[in-house]
Amino acid sequence: MNEKTLSGLRWFLLFAWPCVWARLLKRLISQEQYKALARLIESGDDPDVALLIDCFPNAVADLRRYAVEHGRLHDLWSANTVLGYWRAHKNSGQEGMSSDCAVKKCTVSECSSDRLYVQVRFGNVRFVTRNLYKLPLYPDDIVQVHQRCIIMKETSGPV
């Protein structure tokens, strides 16, 4: 996944996807919406704005607030605005928001042989994440983690 080639809509879905199962279990989205999102993840297609608003109303409202605060409302769904929002997405104290909801910039420590499970460092804390999108990861890579899932690789570590 290349930051420059994916749309803002696609990035929003990739970051939001780890929340989908919990939203389905809490009946915040329907089975049909879950299937539509899963098809989009599998196909690589961009979601419709309406689907994102229906499935992730709080995150879309937060994105809109972020865009207003940063003078980007005219460019709400651009990759630049969406990635800026998710990179700034910290535990904002919303009711029921766990610390895993915050997006964390982490450093890869170790990878399982299949690279599906990855140990990362966030400050002095180490924890295991899932390499949900099967990114080519190596120790010292810098990654963005949401809900203990690696969403994107920021930079490569030393070779």
Query: pLDDT tens, 114-139?
Result: 889 999 999 999 999 999 999 999 99
9-to-48, 72, 81, 111, 147 alpha-carbon distances in Å:
8, 15, 10, 29, 19
DSSP state of 24: H
Own/partner contacts of 43-49, CB < 8 Å, gap of 24 or more, are 44/10, 46/7, 46/9, 46/10, 46/13, 47/9, 47/10, 47/12, 47/13, 48/9, 49/9, 49/77
pLDDT band at 94 (very low <50, low <70, confident <90, very high): very low
pLDDT score recorded for residue 39: 98
Indicate if the pLDDT at residue 65 is higher than 50. yes
pLDDT score recorded for residue 95: 40
pLDDT band at 144 (very low <50, low <70, confident <90, very high): very high
pLDDT score recorded for residue 3: 58
Rg (the chain; Cα; Å): 15
Contact status, residue 151 vs residue 144, Cβ threshold 8 Å: yes
Which residues on adjacent β-strands are paired with residue 150?
A: 145
Please, what's the largest Cα pairwise distance for the chain? 45
Q: Across all residues in the chain, what is the average pLDDT? A: 89
Average pLDDT (144-153) is 94
pLDDT digits (tens, 9 = 90+) for 4-34: 689 999 999 999 999 999 999 999 999 999 9
pLDDT score recorded for residue 38: 97
**What structural domains and CATH numbers belong to the chain?**
8-89 (no CATH), 100-155 (2.30.30.140)
pLDDT score recorded for residue 114: 87
pLDDT score recorded for residue 102: 84
Between CA 79 and CA 86 the distance in angstroms is: 11
Cα angle 80-154-145, degrees, rounded to a multiple of 5? 95
